[in-house]
Structure 1
Amino acid sequence: MRILQVSAELFPLLKTGGLADIAGALPLALMADGQDARVLLPGFPAIMAGVHGLTPVAEFNAPWGERFALRFGHIATDGAPAMAAYVIDAPALYDRPGNPYEDASRQPYADNHRRFALLGWAAAQLAQSLDPLWQPEVVHAHDWHAALAPAYLHFAREAGQLKGARVGSVFTVHNLAYQGIFAPWTFPDLGLPGAAFQIDGLEYHGQVSFMKGGLCYADRITTVSPTYAREIQTPEQGCGLDGLLRQRSGVLSGILNAVDDKVWSPATDAALVQGFQTPEGRHMAGKARCKSVLQHQLGLAERPDAPLFILVSRLTEQKGLHLVLGGLDALLAQGGQLALLGAGEAWLEEAFRQRAAAAPQSVSVTIGYNEALAHQLFGAGDVTLVPSLFEPCGLTQMYGLKYGSLPLVRRVGGLADTVVDSSLEDLSSGEATGFVFDRFEVADYDRAVRRAFALYQRAPDWRRVRGHAMRRPADWRTAAAQYIDVYREALG
């Protein structure tokens, strides 16, 4: 099957969050299954630099009249065949400072509607034989940045512009809270017929919603965990789109994200000072060394007996970080340490900086993102904190599981699907992998932290649960097979 994956970022070339990890791993898993998978990416500088052998494919007009080029090359991958990639060569739109979505002042670019409409438009052009040597059978668009691809395909199909066999479309929601909302005056730039700007299309309270376009027009919709697929059909988690999602529930499914073993493996991870792979206590010396070295590196007290809680996250309200701040005194009073890596809302950054300044031997805060440090934190950590208000899937807890850093999570979304609570009364089932709480309140979070300390003090039980966690399967082969089934459904 010829499958075109469309996303705004892709690991290892460009990453701002978990979307890049999924966009980088899924095509490789599909290729390993024998599928002909290619990716389409915007020509951000890091992507242009990372795709090798770029050659011209064709030029095409954007809906608003500018002319751009499509290029083709390959992305080198460790231990796997190179990934075939199309890149939109549009320096005027993509060659800018800041991250892919915001300028250096953290303000969204004023022409983001054009920058990401072009991504969906190019996908639809490929479906209409823009590359005479390769035409996708399925276009798989990821999150709001690529969400117009299904809309463009729908209206091209209605107009009879698709040549040859039918091209199916799949849209994956990675986080419904980020919808790509734009002013109504941007609609004429998109090149869609007037019929698309209505309640059963992109219109959302008088504005333009890219996310809604993907949800309305895709042949099949997926999201990144089974629980989140159910939650987004409720008013509490539907972000104003729950009615539409209930209406389309027959084509909506949840496929749990997986972890790329070539990138995330404590046995082979080059970022770790010493690898470890067997979850049994006699072979975990590498983890103890990782902890000792990281404590020294971060200026924390070098105490092997102190449980090290780690937090690798965007610093936003969604991630439940006020719970961590509210419970920090109790965590430190019980002898724990906290190491944080992340960036986000200014008040959260400053609050954590202040706590680190007040207790530098117990709290370390690194603002920003550092891929190697993230790996080192999972390698060293005892507990991975993910107390989110909502969490579509979450990869952080999966990395914690693989690296023996037991996740402490709220029972929501993909966190509920991947972490089994540890009960001190019964650890014999072989299923417990972490600590789970229900209510989004400091008191519930604190109780989960106390249970983590209690288990940590029972070393044989801790090792048993850690072994369960590290053995939990999270392979891409299973996820890829589920996506292939969805692609077949999209083809009808």
Structure 2
Amino acid sequence: MKPVPVPTQSVLSVVSEVFPLIKTGGLADVAGALPAALAPEGIRMVTLVPGYPAVMAALELRETLYSFPDLFGGRADLIGAHAAGLDLLVIDAPHLYARGGNPYVGYDGRDWPDNAVRFAALSAVGAFVGGGHLPAFVPDVVHAHDWQAGLTAAYLYYGGGRRPPTVMTVHNLAFQGQFPAEMFGALGLPPHAMSVEGVEYYGMIGFLKAGLRLSDRITTVSPTYAAEIRTPEGGMGLDGLLRTRARVVSGIVNGIDDVLWSPERDPMIKRNFDASTIDLRLDNKIALQARLGLEADPNALLFAVVSRLTWQKGLDMLLGCVGAVTSLGAQLVVLGAGDRDLEAGFRDAARAHPGRIATVIGYDEGLAHQIQAGADALLVPSRFEPCGLTQLSATRYGALPIVARVGGLADTVIDANEMARAQGLGTGFQFSPVSRDMLEAAMLRAADLWQDKAAWRQLQMNALATDVSWRGPARRYADLYRALVTAPGGF
């Protein structure tokens, strides 16, 4: 066994959610997986996270390391803690975080009206720790994630004290954290920070914009997405800034936890399997069909979706392909929640085609695993996708991804075109441009190949042999941190 090197560098990860303590999306998965993946690289990562009720309840060992008499309107403690294998710094600030709903919205689905100060507090504490004010932990690098941590670099930049190298990772540029300029006074930044070179963004305060402008390095969660966000089409108003900082922008594809997502030992699926026992995979398909009331038909091509049901994810296009699914004699499973019209549309499709289409609104972790292990093809027709994780899980389980050629989907799925298959390559199907017609064409292409069992099996074997773990990405993050410490000054 390869010895684990003694940590040579420490990194503070500033993030608004972290799996398994609190999760609304893929950001939490990344934040939860990176620390363990970096340990073999000699990097110790400590995660700073708000003290939501779920986080506070999960803490195993805790120690108050610092107390803030007034953190944006109330007393707060900074707690050093350990939970779920993570080294944590937790902001215990009940006036900011002790509330129901999820980290960003209340039970009514509306954003918390004080989100600006709630996440300014997260950033300010990140800068406090990064600035060396917490003797128990002085990081070599500060790594901020998404708009909620976007002001971390601003507080460090304008703070006038120790300023370690900073990394800003964009998990989804669509969410930018923009707030009215009138709130600037509450942030505790100097007046000159409210400028185009600081946090000002089209007359408003831009949390993500500040992080992109003032961090030493900018990463996204795939190389293709890193290129897309520097274009007017994909930049969502920030492409000009990103082009000016192009030399410090890079993309590192996400991985998945290949222990949690492991067909060889997954306790949530009917039958475990690997490449040498892939025939056993059929038992999972039969079990999935039975659970969801689909016809018991092992020869029917079973398409699946595990996703938020939103326009971004392209699920409105899939609704337009229901006729193609049924005309092919195929089946469709949909697991997800989101836009109410899409939820209703997929429910209607299931009622109209009993035994062929099944819809489960919501999220069920066990069912998600069973779908990956039992479906034949996973559909990810996103209009834009920074990285995506569900197609990585599908690859791990031999459910061939059918994806739009955008962002991380383009980087993680090898299209099974004729030339690729002639060379023994291919792990799924890509389509472009992103339209209903091209999605349907990709599904038809998959259906044609489904008839060639040997060819389909080869693609499954290719997929199962693909490394979708965090090992490669962790090495690239570690290289980035080392480069910053050795030769900072990317700003």
- Superposition TM-score, scaled by structure 1 size: 0.94
Alignment map for 1:187-266 (pairs within 5 Å): 187-266=184-263
Alpha-carbon distance between aligned partners in 1 of 2:92 and 2:464, rounded to the nearest angstrom = 42
1:117 to 115, 120, 144: 120
- The separation in 1 between residues aligned to 2:420 and 2:312, in whole angstroms, is 32
Give the partner amino acid of 2:26. Answer: G
CA distance in structure 2 between the aligned counterparts of 1:185 and 1:116, rounded to whole angstroms? 16
Is the Cα contact below 8 Å between 1:56 and 1:72 reproduced in 2?
yes
| Alignment match, 1:482 | 476
User: Quick check: 1:362 aligned with 2:359?
Assistant: no
Match of 2:129 among 126, 129, 136: 126
* Structure-1 separation of matches of 2:205 and 2:345: 35
Q: Counterparts of 2:470 and 2:117 in 1: how far apart (Å)?
A: 33
Q: 1:262-291 CA distances to partner (integer Å, 9 max, x unpaired)?
A: 21111111111211111x5xx123321111
CA-CA distance at 1:424 after TM superposition: 4.7
Unaligned regions of 5+ residues in structure 1, if any? 77-81
State the alpha-carbon separation in 1 of the partners of residues 51 and 280 from structure 2: 40
Give the Cα–Cα distance (whole angstroms) in 1 for the partners of residues 447 and 301 of structure 2: 7
The residue correspondences of 1:277-296 to structure 2 (distance < 5 A) are 277-278=274-275, 280=276, 283-296=277-290
Matched, 1:69 2:77: yes
Output one character per residue of 1:116-174: Cα deviation in whole Å (capped at 9) or x when no partner. Answer: 11111111111233422211111101111111111111112xx2x22xxx511101000
Structure 2 runs not aligned, ≥5 long = 1-8
State the 1:201 CA deviation.
2.1
- Counterpart code for 2:381: P
1:38 aligned partner: 46
Structure 1 CA distance, aligned partners of 2:10 and 2:361? 41
Matching residue of 2:150? 147
1:92 Cα deviation after fit: 2.1
Corresponding residue SS for 2:143: strand
User: C-alpha distance in 1, partners of 2:421/2:314?
Assistant: 28
Task: Identify the range of structure 1 (397-406 vs 474-483) with the bigger mean alpha-carbon deviation.
Answer: 474-483
CA distance in 1: counterparts of 2:56 and 2:359, whole angstroms: 33
Q: Does 1:167 align with 2:175?
A: no
Going from structure 1 to structure 2, the CA distance change for 1:114 and 1:286 (only over 3 Å counts) comes to farther
| Matching residue of 1:334 | 328
**Residue of structure 1 in register with 2:271 after alignment:** 274
Number of the residue aligned with 2:16: 8
The question of 1:27 aligning with 2:35 is answered yes
Q: What is the Cα deviation at residue 61 of structure 1?
A: 4.8
Q: Which moved more, 1:383-392 or 1:427-436?
A: 427-436
Answer yes or no: is the 8 Å Cα contact 1:274–1:287 preserved in 2: yes
Q: What's the CA shift string for 1:337-396, capped at 9, x where partnerless?
A: 111111111111111111112223111111111222111111111111011111111111
1:73-112 alpha-carbon deviations (Å, 9 max, x no partner) = 1123xxxxx3211111012221222221111121111011
Is the contact between residue 153 and residue 169 of structure 1 (CA under 8 Å) also seen in structure 2?
A: no
Aligned-pair CA distance for 1:427: 1.7
Cα RMSD, aligned residues only:
1.4
Structure 2 counterpart SS, 1:344: coil
1:164-201 deviations in whole A, cap 9, x for unaligned?
xx511101000001111112222212111122222222
Contact 1:62 1:121 in 2 (8 A): no
Equivalent residue, structure 2, for 1:102: 105
Matched-pair contact (CA < 8 Å) for 2:73–2:95: no
Moved over 4 A (4+): none
The whole-number CA distance in structure 1 between the counterparts of 2:94 and 2:303 is 42
Tell me how far 1:30 sits from its aligned partner.
1.1
Aligned residue identity for 2:242: L
Contact between 1:2 and 1:35, CA under 8 Å: does it hold in 2? yes
Give the structure 2 partner of residue 185 of structure 1: 182
Shift of 1:432: 0.6
Q: How does 1:289-308 map to 2 (within 5 A)?
A: 289-308=283-302
Deviation at 1:67, TM superposition (A): 2.3
What is the CA-CA distance between 1:336 and the residue it aligns to? 1.1
**How far, CA to CA, are the matches of 1:35 and 1:418 in structure 2?**
26
Say if 2:32 and 2:86, in contact at 8 Å, map to a contact too. Answer: no
Cα deviation code 1:377-426 (max 9, x no counterpart): 11111111011111111111111111101000111111111111112576
- Correspondence for 1:351 among 342, 345, 349: 345
Q: Distance in 2 between matches of 1:348 and 1:61?
A: 47
Q: Secondary structure at the match of 1:71?
A: strand
In the alignment, structure 1 residue 136 sits paired with structure 2 residue 144: no
CA distance in 2, matches of 1:188, 1:69: 23
Report how far residue 204 of structure 1 moved. 1.8
Q: TM-score, structure 2 length as denominator?
A: 0.95
Find the counterpart in structure 1 of residue 91 from structure 2. 88
Aligned residues: 478
In the alignment, residue 52 of structure 2 is paired with which amino acid? Answer: F
Distance 1:235 1:444 in 2: 23
Equivalent residues of 1:424, 1:455 under 8 A apart: no
Identity, % of aligned positions: 46
Aligned to 1:18: 26
